[in-house]
Amino acid sequence: MLKIKKINSNDSSFSRDLQSHISKRKVNTSDIKEKVRMIISEVKSKRDTALVKYSKEYDNYDVQSANELEISKEECLEALKKISKEELEALKFARSRIQEFSEHQKTKPWNYTSKGITLGEKITAIDKVGLYVPGGSAAYPSSVLMNSIPAKVAGVKEITMVFPSPKGKVNNMVLAAAYLGGVDRIFRIGGAHAVAALAFGTDTIPKVNMIVGPGSQYVAEAKKELYGEVGIDSFAGPSEILVIADSSANEEWIALDLFSQAEHDELAQSILISPDENLLKKVEKVMQDKLNNQERKNIIESSLNNFGLMIKVKDIENAIEISNDIAPEHLQLSIKNSNKYLDKIENAGAIFLGEYTPEVFGDYCAGSNHVLPTVGTAKFSSPLGVYDFQKRSNIIQCSEESAILLAKHATVLANAEGLFSHKDSASLRNNKGKLE
């Protein structure tokens, strides 16, 4: 039985009620922090020995050597042959869409000259990237493509993939996606110990410069702890969708759109906002009627009862204002003339315009990336993209004449800051190699 919380933007307690409900999902990781630190420390010191230990402990995979964790290219090619024709076609279609989108994201080097000073940026791909793919209760071949393809388009030379595989079992679709996505090395290992192995390197798993991809609370905490040792993409939280709908919306479509996020995780959040109270009631009825037919019924029910939300608002402008405050991972505008509201949207990981653009298309094959900022971080973060796998280096070149110009002002500023060696270094360019 669904018992979804309902609030009204006209109520005096609305802001307080909204923030209280949204903040319920913010997970306190203090209870796992020390455990993650212990795992990281052990992997750093004991390397492969620690990986064998934790594979037995967490994955129930009785390996004798860390070498058994690696999956060969031949195994991936074999997995490619085992999946159905339709599955292969869908993976290839998704790959082509993601690649096309990624090609448009590539950052190019640039330069200009002003007063004899040439300035610009050099763009260089990150050399080695670690890809964490979540697993366990579900397999995510789409996440393999979403992370590996932008990296390849950016020019990353080596991608090392890790993913949890209870009892050593692997999913053929995941391996097929890895092959199609150009992943170089694959290891059947997950959790905080896998993240640590990528960060430090072991005798078996190579060290990387950056780690991307979502995972469990332990994975997220490990990425936080190891940030600085390696680069990371983001601190991913549970999935979320916010749907703004008007009276024109199809209640059955909306109900399934909300289910699609709720089934990810018991911590996932599905929010529906509408000025039409009748629509809210119709959507809730459809959800009640269809719940028992959902394969992941228990997860959906728990997610919606704990974190689901229906909000009655004055109008669409009011709905967008509330959405901007929440900053959802996925924002779906199931309204007439959705494009005219695009400029008003300030905070959202991905924006789906119109009733024929459900969030699920973004998850798989529209082409945009599904690795998105969550839990309000869309206020300052962006989706994963090619730019995350590229570094920028500033380029500066001065002529003799422009050096004299810069030295004149640099000496003044250095002197004001009390950095006198800076001052002398600048002065040498202003006085033909002589200090003032």
β-pairing, 5-8 with 309-312?
parallel
Residue 99's pLDDT is what?
A: 97
The domain spans of the chain are: 5-20+237-380, 47-81+107-232, 399-436
Render pLDDT for 242-279 as a digit per residue (tens, 0 to 9): 999 999 999 999 999 999 999 988 999 999 999 999 99
Query: Is the model's pLDDT at 186 over the cut of 70?
Result: yes
Query: Is the model's pLDDT at 240 over the cut of 60?
Result: yes
Three-state SS across 324-393?
Answer: HHHCCCEEEEECCCHHHHHHHCCCCCEEEECCCCCHHHHHHCCCCCCCCCCCCHHHCCCCCCHHHHEEEE
Average pLDDT, the chain: 93
Residue 67's pLDDT is what?
A: 92
CA atoms within a 13 Å half-sphere pointing along the CA-CB vector of 11: 11
Residue 116's pLDDT is what?
A: 92
158 contacts 144 by C-beta, under 8 angstroms = no
SS3 214: coil
Residue 69's pLDDT is what?
A: 94
State what percent of residues in the chain have pLDDT above 90. 86
The structure tokens listed for 70 are 């690696």
Residue 435's pLDDT is what?
A: 60
Q: Which of 319, 326, 318, 335 is nearest to 378 (CA)?
A: 326
Q: Does domain 47-81+107-232 have CATH number 3.40.50.1980?
A: yes
Task: Indicate the burial class of 398 (C-beta count within 10 angstroms; 0-12, 13-18, 19 or more).
Answer: middle
Alpha carbon distance, N-terminus to C-terminus of the chain: 83
Query: Is the model's pLDDT at 137 over the cut of 60?
Result: no
Residue 314's pLDDT is what?
A: 97
- Kindly report which listed range (129-143, 186-200, 224-238, 243-257) carries the lowest average pLDDT score: 129-143
Query: Is the model's pLDDT at 166 over the cut of 90?
Result: no
134: pLDDT confidence band, cut at 50, 70 and 90?
Answer: confident
Query: Is the model's pLDDT at 436 over the cut of 90?
Result: no
Over range 297-320, report the average pLDDT. Answer: 96
* CATH architecture, range 5-20+237-380: 3-Layer(aba) Sandwich (3.40)
Q: Map tokens 């492969």 to a residue.
A: 48
Same fold, 5-20+237-380 and 47-81+107-232: yes
SS3 68: helix
Over range 135-147, report the average pLDDT. Answer: 85
Residue 27's pLDDT is what?
A: 65
Residue 24's pLDDT is what?
A: 84
Render pLDDT for 27-42 as a digit per residue (tens, 0 to 9): 666 788 999 999 999 9
Query: Is the model's pLDDT at 321 over the cut of 70?
Result: yes
Over range 130-158, report the average pLDDT. Answer: 91
Query: Is the model's pLDDT at 238 over the cut of 80?
Result: yes
pTM: 0.91
Over range 147-176, report the average pLDDT. Answer: 94
- Kindly report which listed range (21-25, 41-45, 309-313, 370-374) carries the lowest average pLDDT score: 21-25
The DSSP 8-state label assigned to residue 6 in this structure reads E
Render pLDDT for 82-117 as a digit per residue (tens, 0 to 9): 999 999 999 999 999 999 999 999 999 999 999 999
Residue 204's pLDDT is what?
A: 96
Residue 28's pLDDT is what?
A: 67
Q: Which of 390, 346, 355, 353 is nearest to 368 (CA)?
A: 353
Over range 17-30, report the average pLDDT. Answer: 82
Catalytic residues: 329-330
